[in-house]
Every structure is written in structure tokens, then in C-alpha cells.
């Protein structure tokens, strides 16, 4: 584990808009500022969609563990069609959208469904968030995926949320 500097927490606090929806996040960041030590440990959460039929949608939930908060820094996806082998040249790019909702606040993280390839990168090139998203311990992130393809069923769609667990001492 690595210690997080107070200046890094202060920067995140300063870059968080002071609006009512961010009240719990701002309060949490202020508590982190007053902690004796704040440690971080690399971690990833993954949400798995085993099958998404053409023109269908499905919602899964990422449950943030109770031992620490989680700071999402980057996102990746992996998908296949019927388990077919892929190379870099044959990588499947899903014709699908995603909508992320912080279920604790009920706030959507985007104004409308977004193409997966717009906000999730590949494993080789993850999508780095312009502003990391802090998820509180014991909170949840609802992930709704809509397959907008008229004829393709996707299997084994994995969406990874990459970041760090944040422990206070």
C-alpha cells in the first residue's frame, strides 16, 4: 500500500464542483483530509454480462466493498461473440451503449446512454477518466448496457473499473 498525500486529496476536493449532488463526496473528502494517514492500494472491479441479445438491455451492479472507498481512475472493456478467438486485428467493438448510475445518490454519471467504446478503452489502452470518481465504501454503481445491434448477440462482456482502494487510518 502507498500513502496518499494530503495535497492529492486537496486537489480532488478543489476539482469537485460544489453542487448538492456532490455533498456526500465533498464530506467524504473532507474526512479524508482530517485522517491521520490515507493509504491506497491498486484494485479493479469488474461487472460481467454473460449474454446480451440483439436489441436487448441488461443491468448489473458493482458493489463497492465495505473495507474502503474506491477511486475509479480508468475503464476498460472486453467482449466476444460466441467465445470466438480474437487478435488485435479482429477485436470486437460492441455496438452497444452504457449508462452508469451512482445508486447511493441516484445520480447518473452521464446525461444519456453512451457508446461503450467512448468511455471504456481496451485492455491495451484504457479510457482514463478526466476526473476520477470516488465511490464510497458500501455504495453501488448500476451499469446498464443496451445492445443496439440489430442482429449480433454479445457474450462475455466485461467492463472493468480500474483504480485504487482508499483506506483511512
Cα–Cα distances in Å, from 88 out to 96, 124, 126? Answer: 20, 10, 15
Altogether, the residues listed in the chain come to a count of: 169
pLDDT digits (tens, 9 = 90+) for 13-43: 888 888 887 888 888 888 888 888 888 899 9
On whether residue 26 sits in a domain, the answer given is no
On whether residue 35 sits in a domain, the answer given is no
On whether residue 2 sits in a domain, the answer given is no
On whether residue 101 sits in a domain, the answer given is yes
In 3-state terms, what secondary structure has residue 15?
coil
Range of the domain at 126: 41-168
* CA 101-103-107 angle, 5° bins: 55
pTM of structure: 0.84
On whether residue 57 sits in a domain, the answer given is yes
pLDDT value for 144? 98
On whether residue 105 sits in a domain, the answer given is yes
On whether residue 6 sits in a domain, the answer given is no
Low-confidence spans in the chain with pLDDT less than 70: none
Contact assessment for residue 33 and residue 27, using Cβ atoms and an 8 Å cutoff: no
Q: For residue 97, how far is the Cα from the chain centroid? A: 14
Cα–Cα distances in Å, from 100 out to 50, 59, 139, 142, 167? Answer: 18, 10, 13, 6, 24
If one counts the domains in the chain, the total is 1
On whether residue 98 sits in a domain, the answer given is yes
| DSSP annotation string for 92-159 | ----EEEEEEETTTTEESSSS-EEHHHH-B-SSSPEEEEEEEEE-TT-EEEEEEEE--SSPPEEEEEE
- CATH number of the domain where residue 162 is located: 2.60.120.380
Amino acid at each position: 500500500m502507498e500513502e496518499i498525500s494530503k495535497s492529492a486529496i486537496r486537489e480532488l476536493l478543489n476539482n469537485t464542483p460544489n453542487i448538492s449532488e456532490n455533498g456526500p463526496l465533498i464530506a467524504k473528502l473532507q474526512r479524508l483530509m482530517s485522517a491521520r494517514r490515507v493509504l491506497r492500494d491498486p484494485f479493479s472491479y469488474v461487472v460481467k454480462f454473460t449474454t446480451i441479445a440483439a436489441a436487448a438491455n441488461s443491468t448489473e451492479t458493482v458493489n463497492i466493498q465495505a473495507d474502503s472507498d474506491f477511486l475509479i481512475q480508468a475503464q476498460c472493456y472486453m467482449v466476444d461473440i460466441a467465445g470466438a478467438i480474437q487478435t488485435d486485428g479482429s477485436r470486437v467493438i460492441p455496438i452497444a451503449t452504457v449508462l452508469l448510475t451512482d445508486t447511493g445518490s441516484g445520480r447518473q454519471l452521464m446525461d444519456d446512454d453512451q457508446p461503450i467504446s467512448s468511455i471504456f478503452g481496451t485492455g491495451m489502452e484504457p479510457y482514463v477518466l478526466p476526473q476520477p470518481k470516488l465511490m464510497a465504501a458500501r455504495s453501488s454503481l448500476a451499469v446498464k448496457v443496451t445492445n443496439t445491434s440489430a442482429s449480433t448477440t454479445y457474450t462475455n462482456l466485461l467492463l472493468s473499473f480500474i483504480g485504487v482502494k482508499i483506506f483511512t487510518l
